[in-house]
Structure 1
């Protein structure tokens, strides 16, 4: 929203006391918040905000309270599928692959995120000396990890890494690789060991995060199938996005729907071990679209 209209943003981080964390949302009260949480109630001389945007199930009781305590003055937006009192929020911004419907539901491809071409360009200069002169094509590889739907065991990581290596070697390109916090350590170690001799940079988690710069300088982006966030962020670049397979642990219908959506939009294709084709598309700006809808519903457009 701040990209479209002047706004003062205050970030509130909350957590519930451990003893109450797993209680149903309907039973949680403000006094159960951990003392480390930011205060939610307005302080002396303050008023309730015009707009409240919250994410995560922990925020649900607070979103309901804000709506009630502000006498409806605050426009409440909940992201993702709340799965509790879905009709109580002014707007629910939910991933289309969750198939949530309702008059107050806005479905978007992926989930809201911070990535825009402008933000990537702003982040690039800090890493230009290390990335700008890398051999082309520069290939950004974004590795996820174990989840309810997928896994990345060491043996499969070894197979996957050889396919990535073939693709980069076959075009005399370079590698820009980063891992998520969910990447199993054994898989991570295998991938680093087998790719570290390629031109490029495998970020080890130390120092400033080059993630945005990787996306900016990339000619191709490879993303593991398990991460809706990384896929949506890659789709904001307008660059070819290749989806890397992983070992399935259970049916993953929602991920199938997400990737079918991205393919239909011309964003991504399954990784085929080669980088022979380039393609372009209008960068997805689903976060911007959601912001415009919020402002329209608030009467601020």
Structure 2
């Protein structure tokens, strides 16, 4: 399958997680990438599962439209429905995430082990795709190191998500979590720094803020100068809530031991994902105590990108320098 694309067209709903995965993969390919939004506004698009859409291309925004020589990255179910239609018209399409239709309707499918999908054209990753490269983490470490390591104390960094369709995280869950974090900070003498997300409930944020203040730590809940990358790059320990595969995947791309805070609820996919990382020795579940165990950065994005380029005959476009870990800063 030898051809010469001139760009990458990302076909997906305009959601941050989907953009992050597609553009994270695109960073490893030496081609310009642009976003083509899937907008399911028609009656049939809203009422029918995407796999049953009669005219999927009508859900694609007219501008920009994928060029004929673009390499298309379609994402998730709705993006995959459009990707299938583009592939049927002769486009080269790489599907990201389980499309929930036959994989052979794409050139390649890139999914996770926890998606429980397989096939001769399926590439599997332990972590979600993302763009938090080793070079970006090195830059963040240089930028944030002096600001986050207070008086030489170790840094206990906490990445908090929130409730979704599978997990709960309200006041009660925040109180239990906060008690554990305060105890861990006091036992280790660590500087406690918590960052919340848009999904974190206000009542949960208030509980966490009180906890942080009790140990003279810091809570960031929005505004300029987001410390997220700096926390991953500089932490001595990271604790991440279990609701987000993407957030855990970015956390394990750093070099700190990662703990995961379980939440009430259930997700088979996320359970399998965490089990995979536990077997790798990359994460442990958070019970309140902190330990230092030997870990290495885990990010399958460059590995999958290299295999994708090889399978598509685009080895000359793979940007392997992005996966080089810079340790001099």
TM-score range, shorter chain: 0.7 to 0.9
What is the alpha-carbon distance in structure 2 between the residues aligned to residue 131 and residue 82 of structure 1?
Answer: 41
**Is the CA contact (8 Å cut-off) linking 2:157 and 2:239 kept in structure 1?**
yes
What is the alpha-carbon distance in structure 2 between the residues aligned to residue 3 and residue 255 of structure 1?
Answer: 26
What is the alpha-carbon distance in structure 2 between the residues aligned to residue 59 and residue 134 of structure 1?
Answer: 49
Partner of 1:65: 85
RMSD: 2.2
What is the alpha-carbon distance in structure 1 between the residues aligned to residue 26 and residue 82 of structure 2?
Answer: 22
Matched, 1:165 2:182: yes
Q: Deviations over 1:29-85 (max 9, x none)?
A: 433446xx642243xxxx421x2112132212321222223x2xx431111111124
What is the alpha-carbon distance in structure 2 between the residues aligned to residue 300 and residue 223 of structure 1?
Answer: 36
Cα 1:209/1:27, change in 2 over 3 Å? farther
What is the alpha-carbon distance in structure 2 between the residues aligned to residue 134 and residue 28 of structure 1?
Answer: 61
Matched, 1:179 2:204: no
Cα 1:120/1:21, change in 2 over 3 Å? farther
TM-score (norm. length: structure 2):
0.80
Q: Deviations over 1:182-224 (max 9, x none)?
A: 2222212211122234344311211132211111111111011
**Is the CA contact (8 Å cut-off) linking 1:175 and 1:200 kept in structure 2?**
yes
Equivalent position SS for 2:74: strand
Matched, 1:254 2:279: no
What is the alpha-carbon distance in structure 2 between the residues aligned to residue 33 and residue 65 of structure 1?
Answer: 11
Equivalent position SS for 2:272: helix
Cα shift at 1:4: 4.7
Cα 1:75/1:128, change in 2 over 3 Å? same
What is the alpha-carbon distance in structure 1 between the residues aligned to residue 35 and residue 217 of structure 2?
Answer: 36
What is the alpha-carbon distance in structure 1 between the residues aligned to residue 102 and residue 189 of structure 2?
Answer: 54
Partner of 2:110: 93
1:1-301 correspondence runs (5 A): 4-17=28-41, 19=43, 20-25=45-50, 26-33=53-60, 38-42=63-67, 47-49=68-70, 51-69=71-89, 71=90, 74-128=91-145, 130-133=147-150, 135-248=152-265, 251-275=266-290, 277-301=291-315
What is the alpha-carbon distance in structure 2 between the residues aligned to residue 113 and residue 134 of structure 1?
Answer: 33
TM-score (norm. length: structure 1):
0.87
Cα shift at 1:138: 0.4
Cα shift at 1:166: 0.6
**Is the CA contact (8 Å cut-off) linking 2:240 and 2:261 kept in structure 1?**
yes
Equivalent position SS for 1:102: coil
Equivalent position SS for 2:34: coil
What is the alpha-carbon distance in structure 2 between the residues aligned to residue 264 and residue 239 of structure 1?
Answer: 17
Cα 1:32/1:9, change in 2 over 3 Å? closer
Cα 1:3/1:153, change in 2 over 3 Å? closer
What is the alpha-carbon distance in structure 1 between the residues aligned to residue 41 and residue 26 of structure 2?
Answer: 32
Structure number having the greater helix percentage: 2
Equivalent position SS for 1:27: coil
Equivalent position SS for 1:31: helix
Cα 1:38/1:141, change in 2 over 3 Å? farther
